[in-house]
Amino acid sequence: MTEQRTIKVALAGQPNVGKSTVFNLLTGLSQHVGNWPGKTVERKEGTYCHNGASVHIVDLPGTYSLTANSAEEVIGRDHIIREKPDVVVAVINASSMERNLYLVAELLSLQTPVIVAMNMMDVAEQGGLKIEPQVLEAALGVPVVPMTATRNQGIRELVEAIDELTRDGASYEPKRPEIREDHREVLEELQDLVGAYVPQPYPADWVSLKLLEGDDEILRMMQDRLPEDIWEAVHDILKEHEDAVVAVASGRYDWVGRMTRAALVRPGVGQVTLTERLDRWATHPLWGLLVLAGILGLVFWLTYSVGAPLQGLLETYVVEGGGQFAGNALHRAPAWLSSLVVDGVIGGAGMVITFIPILIIFFAFMGLLEDVGYMARAGYVMDRFMHLMGLHGKSFLPLFMGFGCNVPAVLGTRVIESQRGRLLTTMLVPLVPCTARMMVLAFFTPLFFGSAAPLVAWSLVGLSLLVLAVSGVLINKVAFGGERAAFIMELPLYHLPNWRTIGILIWQRSLAFFKRAGTVILVVSVVLWALSALPTGEIETSYLAGVGRLLAPLGSLMGLSWKMMVALLTSFVAKENSIASLGVLYGASSEGSLAQTLPAVMTPAAALGFLVVQMLFIPCVATVVSILNETRSWRWTLFNLVFLLMVSFGVGILVYQVAALVA
Amino acid sequence: MEIVIGTIRNKPSMAGPEMWRTRWRMHKGDMRPSTTGSWSGGDSVQEVAVTGVKERDITERRAEAGVDLLRLSELKAGEEATLQGFEAGHGLASRLSALGFTPGAQVTMLQNIGHGPLIVKVRDTRIALGRGEAMKVRVRR
């Protein structure tokens, strides 16, 4: 039996080069999605077999360079330096070769062999560009594989190139970019000083170059390792050459220029017309907003005309049907078991199942908008407003999704490029009123406020958003030092969506949600059922009620009885549950009778307090799990919960006291 | 007042083809050439092509005199400029130069409306920049 070779490949590339399409083609559904250890950045890896070898591919985050300006760049270069893959495949977009080759220039200064996958040859051709990959190959000294991944072209050649390079590394002779003449001496000086102290496996010349560029991470690394006097010397040199980072970048672009001039036979003419024409509307400060409003309107209309009925169907046939079936099957079992299965398990699982249509529609839309290239325009148009809250323009879309449901909103924060932006936005999503919360509003307000109900309801929505804006500024200041990351965003060319990519995206995201969320939601739902049923089987005397009574003093500050506190607690499973719990606690057999009972046991001020707390309260368990999933951090998730508890009770008490005085 | 008369193009000389631009300046009534650009030396034949009269505005004159360079945020839509440098912190300079904003690069302003972010084109890429960031980039028309 022959030993199977393992080849380790790292897939690198700038954003918008079709890297994920290439990755999907190579790995298909064998891919596994997780997070890079300790970071909120997505990590994808997969495998394929070819010619007796098992090839393991890691998809590095898309970055424009390898300087420590963002977590993604550090992840990418650390992986190459520490994990030492056998090959780095650098995907470039043939129609923006000049800019894409910058990353290749950076990659070539590391020791790992590089293969350039020149993707989107079709787009380049359409734009009138004529490129000669073999000339580029000769100029660079590395294999260059032309591809059009969306049409499945070039994949075989890429696989062969990887195979060939790893079999016979001897013929690999890359032409590495050299630093510009005027900085050569300084670089050598640095190298002489620090060479001996560079830790394995970092290459000494690369570290010196990064020091010259003023790379934060490398600076810190070397500061720890260098003796005092050498560090002083290095520091002096760097201070004298503070502009070196621009010079180094220029040098790389000079090198890139020479390479592209050799390989580009005829520069394109007017290839951007379609994008330009569309952008005249899409990025205009006024029309762009209208375009965005139109698109969002479309998404929501689709969700509610297609998604809601599907949800209804699922509820009737799967959840209720399943419940009845289980009830019948267990009719001879003890009552508690039957209740556990029907109310606890199926009730909880049912909730997860009813999420399916909504999630799929949202994922599909986010995926489509991103793939087509519109997402960047939406971010551009909204940045004016978002930046007042310390957020990036791209945060708008996930936050807006929160109006439908907080779960896809949290999952949608992935479109934000910076880790910091993602975290901040995720913290703020629960403050966006979702439809479930609006349902509670819609039920309560008419009971207590009569004709003023819509006004009260909209004011409460406005209050939530105000709290969101203020919280954004606050959290940004406290947790992130108040500074906003610079707004620099590429607007990629529009192009036809790749349905396969979108399909795989929807599949992966939905699967991830169900695996993680499904189990937790189920467990929480069963636990809550247990708390409400034990020890006597009556909710009035259950543990849950005990907790409610314990919280009664706090509740009285807001005019809430222990029953209202219990209702709040049950809203943890699903926001609509608070209505159902109140029904049970007040002995109301239907919503109608509850509607009559409530005004008798609560003052309008108390109702207002209750609604305020409900709106700002911790989100449903599905959202909490999604937050945990996305942030990969218990710390941030707990912070979010504590923060929301404080805010909701704080504002709730304030509102009640004021309302009680006024009324 | 300075009047740009035209550009002078050299015929290929012994030293090789060279091209430079000369502006004829009206100084106290008579015309004088002031040369900008590189000089290669060697014998060459000059021919004058009169392209027209253009009044140069204050920013261009200031730029020529080196008094100050234009900020990127001051370019109007459709205008082109050459990048000169940054007045920014290290992080911003690093990010921008990696994206192609290097001294000597051609920058075209695509959209510059109001006080919000603007859109430029650098090395065939459309990039949206915050106004604050664009104010820290120096260009020359």
Q: Is the pLDDT of residue A180 over 80?
A: yes
From CA A542, how far away is CA A652, in angstroms rounded? 26
A384–B126 C-beta distance less than 8 A: no
Query: Is the domain of A58 the same as that of A167?
Result: yes
Chain pair A-B, CB pairs under 8 angstroms: 111
Q: Please choose, from the candidates A124, A91, A104, the residue with its C-alpha nearest in 3D space to the C-alpha of residue A20.
A: A91
Instruction: Provide the chain B residues 35-94 that lie in CB contact (below 8 A) with chain A.
Output: 85-86, 90-94
Confidence class for position B30, pLDDT limits 50, 70, 90: very low
Segment of A56-60, A95-99, A360-364, B2-6 carrying the highest mean pLDDT: A56-60
Q: Is the pLDDT of residue B32 over 80?
A: no
Q: Is the pLDDT of residue A297 over 90?
A: no
Among all residues of chain B, which has the CA nearest to that of A252?
Answer: B98
Q: Is the pLDDT of residue B66 over 60?
A: no
Q: Does B125 touch chain A (CB under 8 A)?
A: yes
Q: Give, to the nearest 10 degrees, the angle between helix A577-585 and helix A562-570.
A: 140
- The CATH architecture to which B69-140 belongs is Roll (2.30)
Place of tokens 């559904």: A29
Beta carbons within 8 Å of A523's beta carbon, 6+ residues apart: none
Alpha carbon B52 to chain centroid distance? 19
From CA A81, how far away is CA A210, in angstroms rounded? 14
Sheet containing strand B80-86, edge to edge, reads: A488-490, B125-129, B118-122, B106-111, B80-86, B137-140, B70-71
pLDDT value of position A322: 77
From CA B119, how far away is CA A3, in angstroms rounded? 55
Joined together, the tokens standing for residue A592 give 């109608």
pLDDT value of position A144: 95
Query: Is the domain of A151 the same as that of A233?
Result: no
A489–B100 C-beta distance less than 8 A: no
Query: Is the domain of A66 the same as that of A147?
Result: yes
Q: Is the pLDDT of residue A76 over 90?
A: yes
In degrees, rounded to 5, the angle at the alpha carbon of residue B54 between the alpha carbons of residues B50 and B56 is: 135
State pLDDT tens for residues A338-385. Answer: 777 777 777 777 777 777 788 888 888 888 988 888 989 999 999 888
From CA B62, how far away is CA B56, in angstroms rounded? 10
Q: Which of B90, B99, B130 sits opposite A214 (nearest CB)?
A: B90
Average pLDDT over residues A388-409: 86
Joined together, the tokens standing for residue A481 give 């030092």
From CA A139, how far away is CA A131, in angstroms rounded? 13
Kindly report the nearest CA distance between residue B61 and chain A, in angstroms.
27
Place of tokens 């920049």: B129
- Cβ atoms within 10 A of the Cβ of A418, count? 16
Residues of chain A with Cβ-Cβ distance to B86 below 8 Å are 246
B93–A245 C-beta distance less than 8 A: yes
State pLDDT tens for residues A574-622. Answer: 887 788 788 777 776 666 777 888 888 888 888 899 999 999 999 988 8
Confidence class for position B16, pLDDT limits 50, 70, 90: very low
Q: How many CA atoms lie within 13 A of A356 on its CB side?
A: 18
Q: Is residue A162 part of a domain?
A: yes
Q: Which of A213, A250, A380 sits opposite B128 (nearest CB)?
A: A380
Kindly report the nearest CA distance between residue B137 and chain A, in angstroms.
12
Q: What is the dihedral of CA A153, A159, A165, A167, to 10 degrees?
A: -150
Q: Which of A171, A198, A230 is the last residue of a domain?
A: A171
Compute φ and ψ for B121, nearest 5 degrees. -120, 125
Helix or strand holding residue B46 (H, E): strand B46-55
In degrees, rounded to 5, the angle at the alpha carbon of residue A259 between the alpha carbons of residues A255 and A265 is: 145
Compute φ and ψ for A46, nearest 5 degrees. -160, 180
pLDDT value of position B3: 39
B117–A383 C-beta distance less than 8 A: yes
A283–B119 C-beta distance less than 8 A: yes
pLDDT value of position A158: 95
Helices (H), A373-434: 374-386, 396-401, 406-411, 419-428
Q: Is the pLDDT of residue A547 over 70?
A: yes
Q: Which of B90, B124, B133 sits opposite A99 (nearest CB)?
A: B124
pLDDT value of position A9: 96
- Beta strand A114-119 pairing with A87-93: parallel
Q: Residue A269, SS3?
A: coil
Q: Residue A431, SS3?
A: helix
For residue A201, say if its preceding peptide bond is cis, omega within 30 degrees of 0: yes
Residues of chain A with Cβ-Cβ distance to B84 below 8 Å are none
Query: Is the domain of A75 the same as that of A188?
Result: no
Q: What is the DSSP letter of A280?
A: H
Considering chain A, what is the average pLDDT of its residues?
86
pLDDT value of position B65: 55
Residue A3 — left, alpha, or beta (φ > 0 → left; ψ -120 to 50 → alpha)?
Answer: beta
Query: Is the domain of A150 the same as that of A209?
Result: no
| Helices and strands in chain B: count of H runs, count of E runs | 3, 10
Q: Which of B102, B110, B133 sits opposite A246 (nearest CB)?
A: B102
Residue type, B44: S
Query: Is the domain of A258 the same as that of A141?
Result: no
Residues of chain B with Cβ-Cβ distance to A245 below 8 Å are 90, 93-94, 97
pLDDT value of position A42: 81
- Beta strand B118-122 pairing with B125-129: antiparallel
Q: Is the pLDDT of residue A392 over 80?
A: yes
Q: Which of A211, A236, A266 is the last residue of a domain?
A: A266
Place of tokens 């509820």: A315
Tell me which of A145-149, A343-347, A557-561 is least confident: A343-347
Beta carbons within 8 Å of A373's beta carbon, 6+ residues apart: A16, A275, A491, A492, A493, A494, A495
What secondary structure, in 3-state letters, does A97-109 show?
Answer: HHHHHHHHHHHHC
For an interface test with A, the pick among B82, B86, B97 (most A C-beta atoms closer than 10 Å) comes out as: B97
Q: Between the CA of residue B14 and those of A229, A643, B37, B44, B45, what are the distances in Å?
A: 55, 78, 19, 8, 11
Residues of chain A with Cβ-Cβ distance to B119 below 8 Å are 279, 283, 380, 491
Residue A218 belongs to domain spanning:
181-266
Beta carbons within 8 Å of B97's beta carbon, 6+ residues apart: A245, A246, A249, A250
Query: What CATH number is attached to the domain comprising A205?
Result: 1.10.287.1770
Q: Which of B94, B103, B119 sits opposite A67 (nearest CB)?
A: B94
Confidence class for position B60, pLDDT limits 50, 70, 90: low
Query: Is the domain of A159 the same as that of A195?
Result: no
Q: Residues of CATH 2.30.30.90 domain(s) within chain B?
A: 69-140
Q: Residue A226, SS3?
A: coil
Q: Is the pLDDT of residue B47 over 80?
A: no
pLDDT value of position B62: 53
Q: Between the CA of residue A660 and those of A309, A445, A601, A613, B18, what are the distances in Å?
A: 41, 17, 15, 16, 86
Q: Between the CA of residue A441 and those of A181, A453, A578, A584, A611, what are the distances in Å?
A: 69, 9, 11, 19, 7
Q: Determine contact, residues A556/A656, Cβ cutoff 8 Å.
A: no
Q: Which of A149, A171, A193 is the last residue of a domain?
A: A171
Confidence class for position B5, pLDDT limits 50, 70, 90: very low
Q: Determine contact, residues A46/A27, Cβ cutoff 8 Å.
A: yes
From CA A73, how far away is CA A39, in angstroms rounded? 12
Query: Is the domain of A42 the same as that of A122?
Result: yes
Query: What CATH number is attached to the domain comprising A123?
Result: 3.40.50.300
Q: Is the pLDDT of residue B36 over 60?
A: no
Query: Is the domain of A144 the same as that of A187?
Result: no
Q: How many CA atoms lie within 13 A of A79 on its CB side?
A: 27
Percent of chain A with pLDDT over 90: 33
pLDDT value of position A72: 86
Percent of chain A with pLDDT over 70: 97
A contact set with B (CB within 8 A) = 64-65, 67, 69, 95-96, 98-99, 102, 213-214, 242-243, 245-246, 249-250, 253, 272, 275-276, 279, 283-285, 376, 380, 383-384, 387, 393, 486-492
A387–B92 C-beta distance less than 8 A: no
pLDDT value of position B38: 36
From CA A381, how far away is CA A372, in angstroms rounded? 17
Confidence class for position A66, pLDDT limits 50, 70, 90: very high
Residue type, A497: P
pLDDT value of position B52: 39
State pLDDT tens for residues A184-215. Answer: 899 999 999 898 888 988 999 999 999 999 99
Query: Is the domain of A262 the same as that of A235?
Result: yes
pLDDT value of position B7: 41
State pLDDT tens for residues A428-468. Answer: 999 999 888 888 888 888 888 888 888 888 899 999 999 99
Joined together, the tokens standing for residue A291 give 């375009």
Kindly report the nearest CA distance between residue A143 and chain B, in angstroms.
24
Please give the residue that has the higher pLDDT: either A540 or A8. Answer: A8
Q: Which residues of A483-503 are buried (b: 16+ CB within 10 A; e: fewer)?
A: ebbbbbbbbbbbbebbeebbe
Kindly report the nearest CA distance between residue A475 and chain B, in angstroms.
22
Query: Is the domain of A167 the same as that of A195?
Result: no
pLDDT value of position A337: 77
Q: Between the CA of residue A310 and those of A112, A318, A354, A358, A361, what are the distances in Å?
A: 51, 11, 8, 9, 11
pLDDT value of position A431: 94
Query: Is the domain of A156 the same as that of A83?
Result: yes
Q: Which of B98, B113, B114 sits opposite A67 (nearest CB)?
A: B98
How many domains does chain A divide into? 2
pLDDT value of position B68: 57
Q: Which of A96, A245, A393 sits opposite B97 (nearest CB)?
A: A245
B111–A69 C-beta distance less than 8 A: no
Instruction: Provide the chain B residues 98-117 that lie in CB contact (below 8 A) with chain A.
Output: 98-100, 102-105, 110-111, 113-117
From CA A402, how far away is CA A410, in angstroms rounded? 8
pLDDT value of position B136: 93
Joined together, the tokens standing for residue A240 give 């004298």
Beta carbons within 8 Å of A13's beta carbon, 6+ residues apart: A19, A60, A62, A90, A91, A92, A100, A103
Q: Which of B92, B113, B130 sits opposite A285 (nearest CB)?
A: B113
A279–B97 C-beta distance less than 8 A: no
Among all residues of chain B, which has the CA nearest to that of A277?
Answer: B110
Confidence class for position A46, pLDDT limits 50, 70, 90: very high
Compute φ and ψ for B135, nearest 5 degrees. -70, -15
